[in-house]
Amino acid sequence: MSTQQSYPLNSFDVYLLRSWLVEIAVPWLLYGINAMLLLFLSYILLSQQNHPTKPQLILLILVVFMLILSTACVTLETQFTLEQLPFLSEGLTDAKFDYIVHKSAHIRIALGVLGRTNYIIGDGIVVWRAWIMFPYNQLVKNILILCMLASFVGTFADAGLAAASFQRLQLGSTTNDLIMAIPLLVTNIIATGLNGYKAYLHNKDIREHLSQCDTHVTKAQKILLLLVESGMVYCGIWIATICVLAAANEAKVELTLAYLIFFTSLPFLSALYPILIILLVALERSKEDIRSMNEMSLSQSIRFASAQPAASQSESQREPRLSFNTSISE
């Protein structure tokens, strides 16, 4: 019979358990949403009447790859949390302690690289959408290339600094995280601004050329507006992240937990953002296609209905003539 006694958890242990619960619950929740939306998106793209275009297939492959990275992230997050559980037990040896610390550091390094790869792919999709809006504007292309390079350098410089900190068994500085967050935010702001400018130009052209017509919002206008609104939401997420990073130096429990929530969620939010955009655009196009098919079938029904009375009238005109001829022959 074991003589080991269990003691009540102190406040720090309770905080650790709460943090670990957040580290597991939030990633798995967002991962489940990502997987469900990706399955729905694949069904919509592959079941439409026309075959998916090459850009649609490339985007689908990219979001599938992002989901694979998210799968690795959520698995490593769970493993990292499970590795921390022995810290709550009594009688932890120094050798076991060093083993857990070094293994946890390696897991954190892998998580940093995988998560930051998701950020770069997500930003690449955003930049590509702004790129195709201005196919002949070299200035816009140069700006987007510089933004993408800054995001790439800042993100992986932060990954290298974080890896070095974990190798030294030190907590990474939030200043290093800002090296990543600020270029990503600037890139998204510029890409969203370009989409908004394109939406303004498109709306202006529609009003100038169709000012005498009773125009409604076109499919292109809806898609451009969708890109702008979603881009603003995503920029808001990065602004909130920067605010949390700037405030995390206070080392308060609430801010530390908020920092933890943001940085466990960001890789999955980065994967969720392009999936939502592609899905909403595909749904908007499907809705427009269904509306066009309904209008076409309605016009065909009207033509068929108008042709029927004409045919009946011609038949009625032939019937008296037939009876008259019959009476003469008799």
List the domain boundaries for the chain: 11-284
Quick one: average pLDDT of 304-322? 49
DSSP, collapsed to helix, strand or coil, labels residue 254 as helix
As a whole number of angstroms, the distance between CA 241 and CA 10 comes to: 30
As a whole number of angstroms, the distance between CA 262 and CA 258 comes to: 6
The pLDDT of residue 327: 40
More reliable by pLDDT, 84 or 176: 84
Work out the percent of the chain whose per-residue pLDDT is above 90: 18
pLDDT tens for each residue of 99-141: 888 888 888 889 889 989 999 998 998 898 889 888 889 999 9
pLDDT tens for each residue of 226-248: 888 888 888 988 898 888 777 76
Q: Please report which confidence band the pLDDT of residue 276 belongs to, taking 50, 70 and 90 as the band edges.
A: confident
Q: At what angle do helices 174-209 and 138-167 cross, to 10 degrees?
A: 160
Highest mean pLDDT range out of 11-20, 51-60, 209-218, 230-239?
A: 230-239
Highest mean pLDDT range out of 52-56, 62-66, 200-204?
A: 62-66
More reliable by pLDDT, 174 or 40: 40
As a whole number of angstroms, the distance between CA 183 and CA 158 comes to: 11
Quick one: average pLDDT of 4-20? 67
The pLDDT of residue 320: 46
Residue 167 pLDDT > 50, yes or no? yes
Residue 68 pLDDT > 80, yes or no? yes
Q: For domain 11-284, give the fold.
A: Rhopdopsin 7-helix transmembrane proteins (1.20.1070)
The pLDDT of residue 251: 55
More reliable by pLDDT, 102 or 11: 102
The pLDDT of residue 75: 92
Lowest average pLDDT, out of 7-11, 53-57, 171-175, 268-272, goes to 171-175
Mean pLDDT of the chain: 77
Name the amino acid, one letter, at 264: T
Lowest average pLDDT, out of 140-149, 163-172, 193-202, 302-311, goes to 302-311
Quick one: average pLDDT of 175-184? 81
CB distance 227 to 129 below 8 Å: yes
The pLDDT of residue 145: 95
The pLDDT of residue 324: 36
The pLDDT of residue 211: 60
Residue 2 pLDDT > 60, yes or no? no
288 Cβ contact list (under 8 Å, min separation 6): 219
Residue 319 pLDDT > 50, yes or no? no
Work out the percent of the chain whose per-residue pLDDT is above 70: 71
The pLDDT of residue 120: 93
More reliable by pLDDT, 243 or 33: 33
Which residue, 114, 120, 118, is CA-closest to 80?
A: 114
Phi, psi for residue 213 in degrees, rounded to 5: -100, 155
The runs of H, that is alpha helices, within the chain are 11-47, 54-84, 94-133, 138-167, 174-209, 219-247, 253-329
Q: Is the dihedral of CA 174, 175, 177, 178 positive or negative?
A: positive
CB distance 37 to 276 below 8 Å: yes
As a whole number of angstroms, the distance between CA 191 and CA 130 comes to: 6
More reliable by pLDDT, 116 or 310: 116
